[in-house]
Amino acid sequence: MVKLLSVLSISMIPVMISIILLHGSLHKIELYDAFVEGAGEGFKTAIRIMPYLVAVFLAVGIFRESGAMDLFTQLLAPVTNFMGIPEEVLPLVLMRPISGSGALGVVQDLVGTYGPDSFIGRVASTMMGSAETIFYTMGIYFGAIAVKNTRHTLAAALVSHLAAVVASVVVCTLIFR
Amino acid sequence: MMNIMWVSMILIGIFVALMKGQLDIVNQVVINHTQEAVVFAIGLIGIMSVWLGLMKIAERSGLIDSIGRLMGPMVRLLFPEVPPNHPAISAMVMNLAANMFGAGNSATALGLKAMEELQQLNTKKERATNAMCMFLVINMSSVQLVPLTVLKIRSDAGSANPAEIIGTTLIATTVSTIVGILACKILERNR
């Protein structure tokens, strides 16, 4: 199963490229010309998101490196304990929506401290795989099209993140305990 | 919301660094992390160009229309205001596929393309549409089928079965995606 999924993962991009090219040649498209024409837009888009990337990296960097993140975690511990979320994975719960690489660091730390096959290790691994970085994604995607009023996106994303956290704990409890 | 979060993260961070007497950390971040951001953006130019080039081919060959038709029923349910056959649909579908198979940068390129297409349907350009919110929430809650980096960390740490978390991850991510979609549908009613 894992093997099959890994093979699928590796072949995804080549397959997508092949389908597009084959479909294009069947329909007698000038492939090379169309590609170059479209690719010209790539530079513009990447440059357009640069200021948003700098803004997000700056805020996340200062918040994390200063130790404010850790402080925040300590403050919230009673709340999540109440919800049945193990205190040890709390830094991950908070870090995951903010910074992907930061969250990976926390997982590495938890898995190293408690062991990969401990309950904490399994919950942390599950949580890491089942959530995404909200702050970064929203900053970049909305930034690229200059949307300022993001409406309910953040609220819905946080609700979904919380669901991922609770589901990770519940599923790991049911399966591994 | 982004405004408040952004400002508070920076100011709280600076304040904490000040209290700890480690203000130089802030200086380090200002130099190093911002440089990382620029390197990342520039690195994205290549992959962005590849996918925008391929999308242009797919647009001319009619592949984009076909994907739109194929996904029709699901799209009508999730994104009722996106017309069938709109190029936004195939960009969104390809973004989610790339995401699931762990092609992070390709996913970003396709996702940005999808947002641009959705923006063309937007009548109030500074305000997100329902479709944009829904797309981003699905995007942020649906993840890699095989979380390779997590597996690597687990096997490095000597796990007896590093891959045992794939099943639990899939269940948890499915739950979070469904909850996210429902949350979007409920919240989008208050305008």
Ordered per-residue pLDDT tens for chain A, 177 residues: 666 666 766 777 788 889 999 999 999 889 999 999 988 888 888 888 888 888 888 988 898 889 898 888 888 778 777 777 888 888 888 888 888 877 888 898 889 889 999 999 999 999 988 777 888 889 889 988 989 898 999 999 999 999 999 999 999 988 887
CB A152 within 8 A of CB B131: no
B window 51-80, beta carbon within 8 A of A: 51-63
Q: How confident is the model over B137-156, as a mean pLDDT?
A: 82
- Please report, for chain A, the start and end positions of each structural domain, with discontinuous segments joined by +: 40-176
C-alpha distance from A19 to closest chain B C-alpha (Å): 9
If you average pLDDT over every residue of chain B, what do you get? 87
Q: What is the pLDDT of residues B3-51, one digit of tens each?
A: 888 899 999 999 999 999 999 999 999 998 888 888 888 888 888 888 8
Contact state of A116 with B30 under an 8 Å Cβ cutoff: no
C-alpha distance from B1 to closest chain A C-alpha (Å): 8
Q: With 0-12 CB in 10 A as exposed, 13-18 as middle and 19+ as buried, what is B73? A: exposed
Q: Which domain holds residue B43?
A: 25-187
The three-state secondary structure class of B92 is helix
Give the span between the Cα atoms of B58 and B178, in whole angstroms.
30
ipTM of the complex: 0.85
Q: Taking 80 as the threshold, does the pLDDT of residue B100 lie above it?
A: no
Nearest beta carbon to residue B140 from set A21, A55, A134: A134
Residue B16 lies in a domain: no
**Is the CB of residue B137 less than 8 Å from the CB of residue A132?**
no
Top residue of B150, B177, B178 to mutate, by most chain A CBs within 10 Å, is B150
Amino acid residing at B70: L
pLDDT, residue B115, reads 95
On whether residue B33 sits in a domain, the answer given is yes
A50 at the B interface (CB within 8 A)? yes
Query: Which residues of chain B are within 8 Å of residue A35 when distances are taken between CB atoms?
Result: 53-54, 56-57
Whole-model pTM?
Answer: 0.85
Query: How many interface pairs between A and B have CB atoms less than 8 angstroms apart?
Result: 366
A4 close to B (CB below 8 A): no
Residue B10, domain member (yes or no): no
Nearest residue on chain B to A162, judged by CA atoms?
A: B176
Q: What pLDDT, in 10s, does the model give residues A87-136?
A: 888 888 888 888 887 788 889 888 988 999 999 999 999 998 877 788 88
